[in-house]
Structure 1
Amino acid sequence: MLKRLRAIGPGALTAAAFIGPGTVTTATVAGATYGYALVWTLVFATIAAIILQETAARLGVIAQRGLGEAVMEQFTGRPALKWPVAALIIGALFIGNAAYEGGNIAGAVLGIEAALPAIASRSVLAAAIAIFAGIILLFGGYRTIERVLIVAVLLMTLAFATALFIIGPDWTALLKSAAMPKIPAGALPLVIGLIGTTIVPYNLFLHAAAAKKRWPSPTGLSEAKFDARLSIGVGGIVSILVLSTAAASLFGTGLTVNNAADMARQLEPAFGTGATYLLAAGLFAAGLSSAITAPLATGFAASELFGFPADPKNIKFRAIAGTVLLFGTIVAVTGVRPIEIIIFAQIANGALLPIIAVFLLYAANNKKLLGEYANGWLANSASIIVVLIAAGLGIRGILRAIGVM
């Protein structure tokens, strides 16, 4: 068991990626608005994410392919299709991650402001966080990045778990909701949001590439599966902790919250500064971890699609990742929200999620790549259900971005 725990890494990167400010905010609003009623959504989303991420890890370990490489191999000898597909994928990932990177940095700033309101201006804090993330991302190397993100996941877990126990949840209501799905009136957008912030297309590229780097032979498959299940499972638990904290402290109070920083400030009169600091630390870790993983995943995807080394120290890798970080920094420091870019990013990622999920499922059934480790009927059944849901989420995201829903 100790050996397996030491192997934790690629899954933790993925968990750090999806427990960002978007997930924390959506879970906070869900708990404050509907109590424990949507806990089942996060249970389902976590199981679905484990299915897809474990498949991506299997592709990396057994086939020694990143997802981008596997996609490109399907178009060998067909450049008329290959390069437009590559451009679509990297365009969606690059623009999407660049657009959301500002929110990642801003989320980390909110965490600091919730604990230390007058420490510095928002722009200064955003610039400091971006510089810190840039030093880790551009100069740390893969193993350093991995260790930093593992610490971030542990910090989030400890912070949100301790805060929840201080507040004292209704365990009966929590467990009942986890086992009995229902959608209260008006809650459908939040249901979709909770699932959509857990199942993220760029995480599939990140996980496959990281698993390939960590386990260079099929003998690592058992460790890779353990890593994926434990890490993604812990990530799902963190999201449930955030939702449950909001449900226990804010549901039924009539107070309005827009993010976890609002929740942290609201808790202080009733539960003391300790709860506020814990939630602030969790939000800071969520923002910082996503500020690192979004550029990292974009760099991995670009390296596989265009054939340069998948190494954070490679100059081309650094250029791609650094550009994503730079754009997010500008957005966070200036406070300007590039609405048109964000809308385009929502549409692009909404279209990309089901496409990438289908490519992943196709690769998982390719016996030339995976041999005896290719999907069986049970894995295919579970994956098809997840792919259909991903397609629904993608269509819903596109329609919402263009104002139809």
Structure 2
Amino acid sequence: MSTSKNKLSVIKKIIAIILGFGPGIFAIGYTIGTGSVTSMIVAGSTYGMQLLWVLLLSCLFSGVLMFAYGNYALISGETALYGFKKHIKGGKILAILIIIGISFGQWNSLMGILGISANIIYEILAMYFEGLVGFQYETVLTIAILIIGVFYALMLVGKYTFFEKILVIFVTFMGLSFIISLFFVYPLPKDVIAGLIPSVPSVPGGKMMVAAFVGTTMAAATFLSRPLFIRGKGWTIDNLKQQKQDSITAAILVFIISASVMAVACGALFHQGQPVTKVLDMANTLEPVAGNLAVTIFFFGTLSAGLSSIFPCLLIAPLLLADYQSGELDTSSRQFRIVTFIACLVALIVPIFGANPIEMQILSQVFNVFVLPIVVLGIILMVNNKKIMKGYKTSIFVNVGLFSALLFSCIISYNGILALFDFL
């Protein structure tokens, strides 16, 4: 009897930890979508663990930036773009450029996310209903319309706490699915160690993949939206310690989940010389190695990753607009309904035209890196302004992290420009 009670108390503690997640859950939702999963799978299957160092640095800098933006929000009482517009010379133009750049990148990502999620559901259905095989385009498009329709309906009735609870469910399933997959296939220890030594694959598409990695794990949208989500959570200056822990936890989880996906792809596909180019390549090659169960678990995780990213991607444009205008997000406003509806229409472009969602996802992640240096520079200026921070001094450690993140983002943006020229 006592054993069963102990088991129940452990389960209750785990559920309490999961439900106790703060705005960091949105950081995971933004960061690990099918864009991130796609990038990790393609990288792991094509280059092994060679880009693990990029992932590690991206997650480290992401943690620092989440912490900095969170502290700025709690201490100043302002949101990011509103603060840029108010306190930085030329900040108004800067904020508008950021809104355009991030919305473009996230909406591009949304197209790929919906395309991949609809394809995964189609493939699962096709396994049980063979009659659907000849109607892939029609089925995928119908599924995509249903998914985006349901999410739009949820957006119209939801508040912060509602979005947070749904994301907690998807992110938990996603994380567990990918970590469990590691028990079926895993890379060699020497591959993992070698992946921590900085190097760029000297092959076509290598630079593109590095830029995509940073674009998906160090996403500007994650940091800019954090002050609004912190406000939605109801946190105040008394929650500074909680905010710090939330940032660290989110960054660590992003690294563990993303590295697990890359490791599974490396263990299953890299040494067989089977790079992934289509959504189902992963399933077809995992099956003989690990069996149907592993395929089901992995694809359930990928689907959860996609669905967990639709909410944040639909939210980003109205979030940034609200941030710029007043720092308050009104989910019942006409502006919110119109902007999210436009985002839903944009999301259907890939399913309607039948484009390859894998290519769209990687390309959209590359676009994300171009806004990153501006977003990092903006917060450096803000958190080091004594007037804005009301006497709170930003530590040397955080400043070293922020300036290192700025240098890293500039190098990656330059790398992204070269990658795009090679692609075009």
Q: Distance in 1 between matches of 2:270 and 2:366?
A: 32
Q: Distance in 2 between matches of 1:45 and 1:275?
A: 28
Give 1:138's aligned residue. Answer: 156
Q: Distance in 2 between matches of 1:375 and 1:287?
A: 36
1:41-73 deviation digits (Å, cap 9, x = unpaired): 212211111111111111222222211111111
Q: Please, which moves more after superposition, 358-367 or 261-270? A: 261-270
Deviation at 1:354, TM superposition (A): 0.8
TM-score for both structures, normalised by structure 1: 0.89
1:36 equivalenced with 2:49 (yes/no): yes
Q: Distance in 2 between matches of 1:313 and 1:4?
A: 31
C-alpha spacing 1:262/1:253, structure 2 compared with 1 (3 Å): same
Supply the AA of the counterpart residue of 1:280: F
Give 1:49's aligned residue. Answer: 62
Q: Distance in 1 between matches of 2:271 and 2:367?
A: 37
Q: Distance in 1 between matches of 2:289 and 2:413?
A: 41
Deviation at 1:271, TM superposition (A): 1.5
Give 1:211's aligned residue. Answer: 230
Give 1:162's aligned residue. Answer: 180
Q: Distance in 1 between matches of 2:82 and 2:215?
A: 25
| Seq. identity, % | 24
1:307-353 deviation digits (Å, cap 9, x = unpaired): 37313233322322332222112443343589xx9999789744421
Pick from 15, 21, 40: which aligns with 1:8?
A: 21
C-alpha spacing 1:185/1:87, structure 2 compared with 1 (3 Å): closer
1:383 equivalenced with 2:402 (yes/no): yes
Pick from 182, 185, 190: which aligns with 2:202?
A: 185
Deviation at 1:302, TM superposition (A): 0.6
Supply the AA of the counterpart residue of 2:244: K
Q: Distance in 2 between matches of 1:274 and 1:336?
A: 29
C-alpha spacing 1:317/1:373, structure 2 compared with 1 (3 Å): farther
Deviation at 1:150, TM superposition (A): 1.5
CA contact (8 A) 1:92 1:352 kept: yes
Q: Distance in 2 between matches of 1:112 and 1:42?
A: 28
Give 2:272's aligned residue. Answer: 253
SS for the counterpart of 2:183 is helix
Backbone CA RMSD of aligned residues: 2.9
1:24 equivalenced with 2:37 (yes/no): yes
C-alpha spacing 1:219/1:37, structure 2 compared with 1 (3 Å): same
Supply the AA of the counterpart residue of 2:377: V
Supply the AA of the counterpart residue of 1:139: V
TM-score for both structures, normalised by structure 2: 0.85
Give 2:136's aligned residue. Answer: none
5+ unaligned residues in a row in structure 1: which ranges?
none
Pick from 91, 95, 109: which aligns with 2:104?
A: 95
CA contact (8 A) 1:346 1:401 kept: no
CA contact (8 A) 1:4 1:223 kept: no
SS for the counterpart of 1:257 is coil
1:394 equivalenced with 2:413 (yes/no): yes
Give 1:271's aligned residue. Answer: 290
CA contact (8 A) 2:18 2:168 kept: no
CA contact (8 A) 2:82 2:327 kept: no
1:257-290 deviation digits (Å, cap 9, x = unpaired): 1256321222112321111111111111111122
1:117 equivalenced with 2:135 (yes/no): no
1:138-197 deviation digits (Å, cap 9, x = unpaired): 322211111111111111111111111122443x23552464444453344433322221
C-alpha spacing 1:125/1:288, structure 2 compared with 1 (3 Å): same
Pick from 140, 144, 148: which aligns with 1:126?
A: 144
